[in-house]
Amino acid sequence: MERSKPWDSDQITRDYFDSLLVEMRHIDAVIPSTKFELYGETFDTPVMMAALSHLNNIRENGMVEMARGAHAANAVNWVGMCDEAELEAITATGARTICIIKPYADNDYIFRRIEYAERCGVLAVGMDIDHAFGADGKYDVVLGEKMKPKSLPELREFIKSTKLPFIIKGVLSGQDAYKALEAGAKGIVVSHHHGIMSYAVPPLFILPQIAKVINQQIPVFVDCGIMSGMDVFKALALGADAVSVGRAVMEPLRNNGSEGVRDKIVKMTEELAGVMARTCSRDIRNIDPTVIRHRNGW
């Protein structure tokens, strides 16, 4: 049956996830560990929250509730646009939080946001580089704030301004992966920002190429369309160190707040462990990429 929106990057991404098949391997298998180490800290799962913003339309104090859920699951929390008071409330939950900053046209404002995030005690900071342009080819405007693409020298200056790890989000090519390393980034997020551009390549399609470029020098994260532990497994097998989950936790957040978020993270982690056990994957650093097989001509 022909899809009604062949240009929809989210649908293309879902189709690619579903085109990936997984071998079973049972001999010499063990109970797997889903422990995840990042920037000197250890977490129970590689399932992280996505860098979401403005969740009050989902649930009152939604960003804080999401952080509480992540903390309860001992998972990494990410945060996007928020004001200073909200960031303080998020970090006060105890959740180890990564703060992603938009590519504002005003670089001085970016430096101030980095400094404030540091004072709040976040685990890392970063920039959402794929939000620089609108669909009309002009500079993007997000909630009235003007954006602008950043050059390699500008990214270097942001990275040099902080002692925290700096992550570049929105990498969807080997070229940008090379540049992220050159800039001194301490992590990248492979993402098309849930279809910010039509016909974007699925993150998992380009992930092996990007992972080869990075060559384990810095962590590689993936987001967009990850809905289950099986999706998490496929991303890890193809080169990701961890994944970010957003839409999958929206309904649990809406219905049950932080407990719903925690329970969803735990469930996805259990699903991941189930696939790991059946593929002879003893931990998340030892998943053999050859267990992944392709169908449908990808």
Catalytic residues: 193
Cβ(79)–Cβ(98) under 8 Å? Answer: yes
Nearest partner of 147 among 63, 88, 220, 81, judged by Cα: 81
Residue 220 CA to residue 93 CA, distance in Å, equals 26
CB-based contacts of 96, cutoff 8 Å, min separation 6: 41, 43, 71, 76, 77, 123
Residue 45 CA to residue 51 CA, distance in Å, equals 17
Nearest partner of 144 among 59, 79, 54, judged by Cα: 54
Residue 273 CA to residue 45 CA, distance in Å, equals 10
**DSSP 8-state code for residue 283:** B
Tokens 């003893």 sit at which residue?
A: 282
Helices (H), 76-183: 84-92, 107-119, 152-160, 174-183
Backbone angles phi, psi at 49, to 5 degrees: -75, 150
Q: And the tokens for 200?
A: 């974007």
Residue 40 CA to residue 214 CA, distance in Å, equals 19
The amino acid at 249: V
Number of separate helices (H) and strands (E) present in the chain = 9, 14
Q: Given the DSSP bridges, would you call strands 220-222 and 292-294 parallel, antiparallel or unpaired?
A: unpaired
